[in-house]
Structure 1
Amino acid sequence: MATMVLTAVGRALGGPIGGAIGALVGNAFDHAVLFRPKGREGRRLAELQVQTSTYGTQVPKIFGTMRVAGTVIWATDLKETRKKESAGKGRGRVTTYSYSASFAVALSARPIRAIRRIWADGNLLRGAAGDFKTELSAFRVHHGGEGQAADPLISSAVGAGQAPAHRGIAYVLFEDLALADYGNRIPSLTFEVEADAGPVPMEQVAREASGGLLGGSGLGLVAGYAAGGPDVREALMPMIEARGLALAGGEAGLRLVAAAEAADGEIGAGGLLARVNGRGVDPQQRSGGAADGVPVALSLRHYDAARDYQTGVQRVVRAGAGRQEQGIDLPEAMSADAARALAAARLHAAWSGRARMELRCGWEALAQEPGEIVTVAGVPGLWRIEEREWEAMAVRLSLRRVPGAGGAMPPGASGGAIVRQVDAPHGATSLMLADLPPLREGVASAPLIVAAASGGAGWRSAALFVMGASGEAVPAGRSAGRAVMGVTDAALAPGSVTLVDRRAVLDVTLLAEDIALSPADEAMLGQGRNLCLVGRELIQFESAVRTGTRQWRLTGLRRGLRGTEWACGAHEAGEPFLPVEEERLADPLGFAGQSVEPGAALRVAALGLGDVEPVEAVMTVAGEALIPPAPVHLTARAESGGVALRWVRRSRAGWRWSSGSDVPLAEEAERYAVRLMDGARLVRAAETAVPAWTYDTAAIAADGSAGAALTVEVAQIGTHATGRAARIAITV
């Protein structure tokens, strides 16, 4: 009777699961028979693999919230954009190419509610707020409803009326996604799909995955599950195996039942038969499997939502004999604690399930359904009925021991660490221009103008443009990495440029809370670490201490570096603060193939993903890289009735100590301008080709300056500009 019922159910289901049920021998209901794996190939967590475009690839049904890769279902050829740009003065023009792509990715074979974060090559492409970190023309989500229309871009490409709507399939479409950040190729994408508003009952998963042919109730919830594979068995087997679910049958059809902690019924002593057809039989036969047949360790692989849905593994070990280990691949989102508890429960169930029992019962045992949990008179523990068969005028029941009610695994499982990108909107761009003296060895032939751009925690980069006098915008490439920048809280007091300034304190407020400054020792400072532009003075700092969320105090200052000692006394509160890190600075003029002369106005604009309109920075170019630094060690000595002046030349071609030898000249010729000033009145101007000049008695007499107190200014005359002057007071 029971066999006939099961065969009918099997025919009703059809397909792989129906064939398995229809072929059951002995009416076995346990999932180890019904859902026996094919061959020895284990299941794999495939939802985080790269998206594919293989013909016939099965799209999983997503429940709850999961991270999936999806399947490419449509794509255009890469779109190439060609641009000719100057490589700099005297270097000709360079042709550059950029690429974008438009494509659609199928994500779920059931409707979804929303797409949250998207990762490209493991890096965040779209934040939870819906902001993209890379440029694209459009992004559309098709939620998988039965009434959804074809995507307009696909329709325009293949023709109106020819484009499939992919009804019942949830997919997304990227339109002109910029590929520069990914090596000019389509990156591997994974998506955080929100298919349901919250956790989903497991019986709903079973019902939808089986087309309504499997039921159940009270099985618990799943936060996220990917029901995939070529058939129903593959879709549901991971969930059934991990939860220890069993299959039960009845007039209403097949249903999944949870591992019970209490019995559904009891088989009393009166229900057992000692004789069948006048022949004595053993009403109860018990057997037990070997201990080493149970895995000594069990590992459960799952998706950990706390780790951006990366794969997590929880492993539990039992004491006693045995060598084999077993693993379960569960395409479900759960915490590390929940995964560890599941693994422990399955290992406990395997240990308990070694005990088996066969009973010979009377006709009343036909009321016992396979899958039920019962107690047996005189036998401890809970037992599940696996088979029920009418045999020789008696009912034979095959039972397996199941774990009883017990304590849960203690919490505290670790899912492991993860390096997570900051998920914050791109935000507005802050732009700063700086006119710098030479930073490297060598002679500059043009002003060194750099652009630094930055923003909040989610800011990445911005496109730069050099603005012409009539308002035209010339593309100048992209900004470099996110720069550290801020403003000074108070005016930096004047300080020594020959000694480490340990009296002055520099308080600054940085642009964002997540930006930090670091201290540096003498060796690091010697390599150029912690070089900063404060106003127009270059300094270095030894110590950096956070004093607020964005506030820092800098001490141990090296002042007036790279010939900027002239700016030590010209500070004010609120002036720009910019650490000079070459990898975070861009050269907009060089990229645009333009040059600028000292004294000219320069206007640069930046436009990032989070900017409603371009942000601009304007400066008057001084050409600091072209200006010779002021001479040093200027001395005056009375000599033959006059005053002899001596000094030491410095060079803009290098800043390191050269062991007593002269520094490189870096100019076409060595020349100095000497000026004698009486207050604001020019007394005498002279020029010399050596680092010395004498104010002799004849000149003193001609100037009528005997006994006067004068100021001497000495400046080097460079190829492109006259440098700033060194000064000394003399009495003639």
Structure 2
Amino acid sequence: MATLVLSTVGRALGGPIGGAVGAILGQAIDARLFRHAAREGPRLADLSVQTSSYGTPLPQLFGTMRVAGTVIWSTDLIETRNSQRGGKGRPATNTYSYSASFAVALSARPIVAVRRIWAEGRLLRGAAGDWKTQTGFRLHPGSEDQPVDPLIAAAMGATPAYRGIAYAVFEGLLLADFGNRIPSLTFEVVADAAAVPSGTIAATIAPEVTAQGGLPLDGFAAAGANVRGVLETLALLDGGWWRSDGARLVRQTDTGAAVPIADAGLAAGGRTPRRRRTVAALASVPREVAVAHHDPARDYQVGVQRMRRPGPGERIDRVELPAVIDATAAKGVAAALLARGEIERTRRQVALGREGLGIAPGAIVALDGEAGRWRVASSSISGVLTTLTLLPIGTVPVAGAASSGACLPAADLPIGRTALAAAELPGLGEAPLTLPRLSVVACGSGPGWRQATLLYSLDEGASWSAAPASAAPGMIGTVDVPPAAAASGRLADRQSAVVVTLLRDDMMLGDADAVMRGQGGNLALVGDELIQFATATPLGGGRWRLTDLMRGVRGSEAAIATHRTGERFVLIEPDAITAIALPAAAIGRRLRLLASGVGDAAPVETAVTITGASVAPPAPVLGSVTVEADGGMTVRWVRRSRAGWSWRDGVDVPLGEESEGYRLAWTTSAGPQAAVTDAPAYRFTAAARPPAGTSVTVVQLGTLAVSTPLTIIVGDTA
């Protein structure tokens, strides 16, 4: 198997963080991401776009997140050829399908599970764990003792186990639904069983951080270029910031105790504290703040909440939060950032003596003689002079409720078990078939069912041949009230009604006018009889009443008298039929058919005896008996043809067989009798005339099979 190594995986935020911590301690801890682009924090694009770039870092996931991951290994496309026999004198048809096997790294720390999986925005795996497309799937959760994946090892030889990294392996994913390429996937990953406080996340990614609770987050992805960016992002969520506490970092909020700064220290030396106040122009701060986040109401897709202030300025800032928060919380973050932008237009610089050495960035201070509280943004030391830059701590307004907007989630429809119907139907077109053909209709008990693979055997399972996959889902049900018995020569039946129950309540039948029926519309297999119906009346619960019938369509009148309650109902639609071409030698043999859909725990099987009905001419009709003047008797009938069912031009249709021939059979006191003729009539001599009441059966001889019989009763002709 050819393989490609697409990337290596690195641990985002891994390794020593001393430099990052030092940078935090030396500058303003809460400098926002959108003000200093060089300090890169996590970006949503890192999570929503699947990559295969060499050396791509992986996020550490917390709670429940939707991420795309990184493809770390893949095979080439695997091509499968299916050859289907052609008709007489026609070449075989080859069809091709493609699949691929690949692995996707998800998290740089262990996870608990993977729930839903989306492929190109459609659900590949539903909330119940059901797959919508056939594939093999294995999850390696990132434990430190996880084994090497056997498929990757078989393809690559020596390969790492990626311990500590959670990754998923797809084996043989069918690609027909995705343009025969590996689709872009996103995964609902459960890294922790419950919400995780922001402080716990910070302590996990940076051992120097002391966890102090914080905002509980349903999900968070710690990714980006450095630890500092992640810590700053966590601080944005609840308005807190980080400050040093000896050799540790602790989380600080604006409710903490304030350190008083008095004038006495410098006044004793004959100097006064130097305080400088500056106020930036309103136009210099954002007029609008947009907060992008993962919205649980949108299946964890990105939502954006905006807040705008009145007044001058054109600046619009966007903050990307790789966190799962609802729309109202995101709007609150936007409102807080906008308000703090206005509040922090005012800055103070305070010069202190040596007592200022104990006031580190992040501390809260109160100035003697001034109202309010201040946060130390930065500190600089020159000789014995310590200069603190202060930002005011103000009241942040509470934002109102927010909407996630309209969301059209991917349909999570159950697949269910495959239902299968197979019959040897006559050709549905005008041209007669040249080889036997089995018609297969399949659907599923769930509305999400799409297709099943088909295998058939003509030797009772000793060998199996691949058939084309099932076509579009069909309409299959059972008959509650069968049609009444009718004369075999009477096609129109306005007295009977058929009541059927379809497999699912969401299946629908419709009416068809004469033109539509003339084009083959509303053709159905009821038991073994083909009928057409003009009107379908819903009765509720998936039940339908079918009336204004055409009976014995396409030569199936022999089955009119065979109906029973519980027999099959199948709507015959060309795009729902899979045709399996068979060799002529299949006639008279039993065919076993297996169907395997995504929702089938075991293959679904049915069996059909191939009688040649698909290539047999229809039975002759309009039998009559004429007594000749010499005492002989002529039996006559009208042939029919499987070439030209619609009889559009009003003239005799072509024979449809290599030659015309008929076989007659009857029984006399001397035993069974038979005769063969090449014309639609047979003359008995007076001596050989069957007695009155004798049943004479006539079958037309087809190229590959014979028709069902026409029975002619010889009357009293004495």
Aligned with residue 212 of structure 1, among 194, 207, 231: 207
Once the 2 structures are TM-superposed, how far is the Cα of residue 335 of structure 1 from its aligned partner? 3.5
Q: Does 1:536 align with 2:528?
A: yes
Aligned with residue 303 of structure 1, among 288, 294, 297: 294
> Does the 8 Å contact 2:303/2:327 carry over to 1?
yes
Q: Partner of 2:23 in structure 1? A: 19
Q: Residue 653 of structure 1 aligns to a residue in which SS?
A: coil
**Aligned runs of 1:332-731 on 2, under 5 Å?**
332-350=323-341, 352-353=342-343, 355-358=345-348, 370-371=361-362, 384-387=375-378, 398-400=390-392, 402-406=394-398, 408-422=399-413, 424=414, 428-457=417-446, 459-469=449-459, 471-481=461-471, 482-494=473-485, 504-513=496-505, 515-522=506-513, 525=517, 527-544=519-536, 547-555=539-547, 557-588=549-580, 590=581, 594-596=583-585, 598-608=587-597, 611=600, 613-629=602-618, 650-656=640-646, 658-668=648-658, 689=679, 718-719=702-703, 720-722=705-707, 725=710
Distance between the aligned counterparts of 1:33 and 1:78, measured in 2?
42
Aligned with residue 165 of structure 1, among 132, 157, 161: 161
Range 75-84 or range 520-529, more displaced: 75-84
**Aligned runs of 1:208-287 on 2, under 5 Å?**
208-209=204-205, 211-215=206-210, 217-241=212-236, 243-251=238-246, 253-258=248-253, 260=254, 264-265=257-258, 285=277, 287=279
Per-residue CA deviations over 1:445-465 (Å, capped at 9, x if unaligned) read: 233312233333265544433
Q: Partner of 1:5 in structure 2? A: none
Q: Residue 643 of structure 2 aligns to a residue in which SS?
A: coil
Distance between the aligned counterparts of 1:614 and 1:115, measured in 2?
27
> Does the 8 Å contact 2:352/2:386 carry over to 1?
yes
> Does the 8 Å contact 2:379/2:386 carry over to 1?
no
Report how many residues are paired.
692
Aligned with residue 141 of structure 1, among 139, 142, 151: 139
Once the 2 structures are TM-superposed, how far is the Cα of residue 436 of structure 1 from its aligned partner? 0.8
> Does the 8 Å contact 1:76/1:102 carry over to 2?
yes
Distance between the aligned counterparts of 1:634 and 1:413, measured in 2?
75
Q: Which runs of 5+ in 2 are unaligned?
A: 1-15
Once the 2 structures are TM-superposed, how far is the Cα of residue 343 of structure 1 from its aligned partner? 3.6
Q: Which amino acid aligns with 2:50?
A: V
> Does the 8 Å contact 2:114/2:188 carry over to 1?
yes
When normalised by structure 2's length, the TM-score is 0.78
Distance between the aligned counterparts of 1:684 and 1:541, measured in 2?
39
Q: Does 1:37 align with 2:37?
A: yes
Q: Does the C-alpha gap of structure 1 residues 704 and 564 become closer, same or farther in structure 2, counting only changes over 3 Å?
A: closer
Q: Partner of 1:73 in structure 2? A: 72
Q: Partner of 2:112 in structure 1? A: 113
Q: Does the C-alpha gap of structure 1 residues 234 and 559 become closer, same or farther in structure 2, counting only changes over 3 Å?
A: farther
Q: Partner of 1:8 in structure 2? A: none
**Aligned runs of 1:39-118 on 2, under 5 Å?**
43-52=43-52, 54-75=53-74, 86-87=85-86, 90-91=89-90, 101-118=100-117
Distance between the aligned counterparts of 2:121 and 2:329, measured in 1?
26
Q: Does the C-alpha gap of structure 1 residues 553 and 278 become closer, same or farther in structure 2, counting only changes over 3 Å?
A: farther
Q: Does the C-alpha gap of structure 1 residues 602 and 171 become closer, same or farther in structure 2, counting only changes over 3 Å?
A: closer
Q: Does the C-alpha gap of structure 1 residues 435 and 343 become closer, same or farther in structure 2, counting only changes over 3 Å?
A: farther
Q: Does the C-alpha gap of structure 1 residues 341 and 360 become closer, same or farther in structure 2, counting only changes over 3 Å?
A: closer
Once the 2 structures are TM-superposed, how far is the Cα of residue 229 of structure 1 from its aligned partner? 1.8
Q: Which amino acid aligns with 1:219?
A: G
Distance between the aligned counterparts of 2:618 and 2:81, measured in 1?
43
Per-residue CA deviations over 1:621-664 (Å, capped at 9, x if unaligned) read: 33333333456788999999999999876532233351534444
Once the 2 structures are TM-superposed, how far is the Cα of residue 442 of structure 1 from its aligned partner? 0.8
Once the 2 structures are TM-superposed, how far is the Cα of residue 480 of structure 1 from its aligned partner? 0.9
Per-residue CA deviations over 1:12-69 (Å, capped at 9, x if unaligned) read: 95334533643x3xxx3432389822299994422222241x2221111111122223
Q: Does the C-alpha gap of structure 1 residues 650 and 234 become closer, same or farther in structure 2, counting only changes over 3 Å?
A: farther
> Does the 8 Å contact 1:272/1:362 carry over to 2?
no
Q: Does the C-alpha gap of structure 1 residues 82 and 479 become closer, same or farther in structure 2, counting only changes over 3 Å?
A: closer
Once the 2 structures are TM-superposed, how far is the Cα of residue 572 of structure 1 from its aligned partner? 0.9
Distance between the aligned counterparts of 1:714 and 1:320, measured in 2?
98
Q: Does the C-alpha gap of structure 1 residues 463 and 91 become closer, same or farther in structure 2, counting only changes over 3 Å?
A: same
Q: Residue 229 of structure 1 aligns to a residue in which SS?
A: coil
Q: Does the C-alpha gap of structure 1 residues 710 and 341 become closer, same or farther in structure 2, counting only changes over 3 Å?
A: farther
Once the 2 structures are TM-superposed, how far is the Cα of residue 263 of structure 1 from its aligned partner? 7.5
Distance between the aligned counterparts of 1:728 and 1:332, measured in 2?
85
Q: Residue 358 of structure 1 aligns to a residue in which SS?
A: strand
Range 123-132 or range 363-372, more displaced: 363-372
Q: Residue 410 of structure 2 aligns to a residue in which SS?
A: coil
Distance between the aligned counterparts of 2:78 and 2:347, measured in 1?
69
Range 195-204 or range 602-611, more displaced: 602-611
Once the 2 structures are TM-superposed, how far is the Cα of residue 595 of structure 1 from its aligned partner? 3.6
Q: Residue 464 of structure 2 aligns to a residue in which SS?
A: strand
Per-residue CA deviations over 1:242-275 (Å, capped at 9, x if unaligned) read: 55443333436333445x5x6755979x879999
Identity of aligned residues (%): 39
When normalised by structure 1's length, the TM-score is 0.77
Once the 2 structures are TM-superposed, how far is the Cα of residue 421 of structure 1 from its aligned partner? 3.9
Distance between the aligned counterparts of 1:657 and 1:573, measured in 2?
34
Per-residue CA deviations over 1:330-388 (Å, capped at 9, x if unaligned) read: 222334444444444444444x4364243759889988775467888999988655356
Distance between the aligned counterparts of 1:332 and 1:239, measured in 2?
9
Q: Residue 32 of structure 2 aligns to a residue in which SS?
A: helix
> Does the 8 Å contact 1:464/1:607 carry over to 2?
yes
Q: Which amino acid aligns with 2:48?
A: L
Q: Which amino acid aligns with 2:23?
A: G
Per-residue CA deviations over 1:599-639 (Å, capped at 9, x if unaligned) read: 44332233445555544322233333333345678899999
Q: Does the C-alpha gap of structure 1 residues 40 and 116 become closer, same or farther in structure 2, counting only changes over 3 Å?
A: closer
> Does the 8 Å contact 1:79/1:101 carry over to 2?
yes
> Does the 8 Å contact 1:302/1:334 carry over to 2?
yes
Distance between the aligned counterparts of 2:443 and 2:197, measured in 1?
46
Distance between the aligned counterparts of 2:235 and 2:650, measured in 1?
82
Q: Which runs of 5+ in 1 are unaligned?
A: 1-11
Distance between the aligned counterparts of 2:642 and 2:293, measured in 1?
62
Per-residue CA deviations over 1:430-487 (Å, capped at 9, x if unaligned) read: 3321111221121212333122333332655444332233541222235314433221
Q: Does the C-alpha gap of structure 1 residues 318 and 35 become closer, same or farther in structure 2, counting only changes over 3 Å?
A: closer
Q: Does the C-alpha gap of structure 1 residues 346 and 536 become closer, same or farther in structure 2, counting only changes over 3 Å?
A: farther
Distance between the aligned counterparts of 1:731 and 1:214, measured in 2?
111
Distance between the aligned counterparts of 1:45 and 1:441, measured in 2?
56
Once the 2 structures are TM-superposed, how far is the Cα of residue 574 of structure 1 from its aligned partner? 0.7
Distance between the aligned counterparts of 1:316 and 1:635, measured in 2?
91
Q: Report the RMSD for the aligned CA atoms in angstroms.
A: 5.0
Q: Does the C-alpha gap of structure 1 residues 473 and 293 become closer, same or farther in structure 2, counting only changes over 3 Å?
A: same
Q: Does the C-alpha gap of structure 1 residues 410 and 230 become closer, same or farther in structure 2, counting only changes over 3 Å?
A: closer
Once the 2 structures are TM-superposed, how far is the Cα of residue 107 of structure 1 from its aligned partner? 1.6
Once the 2 structures are TM-superposed, how far is the Cα of residue 196 of structure 1 from its aligned partner? 0.8
> Does the 8 Å contact 1:242/1:342 carry over to 2?
yes
